[in-house]
Structure 1
């Protein structure tokens, strides 16, 4: 059991060991529940796409494929107009 103190602004600090155990990082969200006098903090699931943010550089193969697709569609439209 850990003892924590509520600040004047209503903030608390979750002990480091608990943050590590649950992989909590800056910006993660927790659900707060009041169950008959028992306050429960529960980590909310992280959005899978947000987990990928920043993992790939802009020069990824996907960008190359997107550029190729745009060129192909542009050429296709030009052929259709003829």
Structure 2
């Protein structure tokens, strides 16, 4: 996919990508420059709500108990 930058430095995000990443008018984005490439990261309207369920299946409770037991063994 390719876009053209206007004289004002504006760029159009292709509709396919806007739909895929749920990018809407008025939404904020973050530009990340790592020195070799530029990344465009959409910032959700509610970043906290967007994280809901992101650790599903990670068994975080089991990892916490294991870590606490290891700490107790070191004491």
TM-score interval (norm. to shorter): 0.5 to 0.7
List aligned pairs for 1:6-17, cutoff 5 A. Answer: 6-17=5-16
RMSD: 1.3
| Corresponding residue of 2:34 | 35
Q: Which structure 1 segments of 5+ residues have no match?
A: 49-82
Length-normalised TM-score, structure 2: 0.58
Q: Which structure 2 segments of 5+ residues have no match?
A: 48-75
SS at match of 1:27: coil
Length-normalised TM-score, structure 1: 0.53
Larger radius of gyration: 1
